[in-house]
Amino acid sequence: SEADGIVVVSRGVGTSLSATAGIPQERIHVIHNPVVLSELEQKARAIPDHPWLKQKDFPVILAAGRLTGAKDYPTLLKAFALMRRGRSARLIILGEGEERKGIEGLIGHLDLDQDVDLAGFQANPYAFMARADLFVLSSLWEGFGLVLVESLACGTPVVSTNCPSGPAEVLEKGKYGPLVPVGDFEALAKAMDAVLDDPLPSGFLKKRAREFSLSSICDQYLDVLLG
């Protein structure tokens, strides 16, 4: 590459690029994806059209993303089933994709039909995030994990797998939400249970999200361009 500098969305992506393309690390700049906080906050104030969130009888856990193998919803469902042995809760999954039938089958197999809803694509996921008690990312891999920043911006606690390459950076190695091994449903269940029992303050989470605001990210791009 003849570029003076290369921008990537996470340190993990930068490391992979350096290794595969032979580009020196010092030419790679990490600038995370931005969140337009004003628009997000406005959308988060909307009331989601979902009975579990309009009248919340039990804690509601939320996940969002295409129904694909990369998102590893089977691990999330197994974790939820394990956690539910000790407490009542509900799980909403937003998104569509080719794995829907398999996921529906696993929901039935785990006897979770009454407590898990595949709510499909939602134009305004932030209304759901803002009213959920916990957001969970169970992915095998991510480029960055923007959905974690969006949840933090809604003041909603998060749990994530420590997948490549982004969640550990967003959550500062666990400071802003637990990170668990990829594919470990028992560890995920334990972390979900712990966060529901003792969630981090919403103000603390929102403050972290502001570090990914559009203005903050633009400043970082200007530093690279003018540096």
What pLDDT was estimated at residue 113? 97
- Extract the runs of DSSP E, i.e. beta strands, from 82-219: 90-94, 116-120, 134-137, 158-161, 179-180
What would the pLDDT profile of 27-55 be if each residue is shown by its tens digit?
Answer: 766 666 777 788 999 999 999 999 999 98
217: pLDDT strictly greater than 90: no
Beta pairing, strands 90-94 & 116-120: parallel
What would the pLDDT profile of 131-165 be if each residue is shown by its tens digit?
Answer: 999 999 999 999 888 999 999 999 999 999 999 98
Question: What is the rounded CA–CA span in Å between residue 1 and residue 19?
Answer: 14
What would the pLDDT profile of 172-212 be if each residue is shown by its tens digit?
Answer: 999 999 999 999 999 999 999 999 999 999 999 999 998 88
Q: For the chain, how big is the Rg over CA atoms in Å?
A: 18
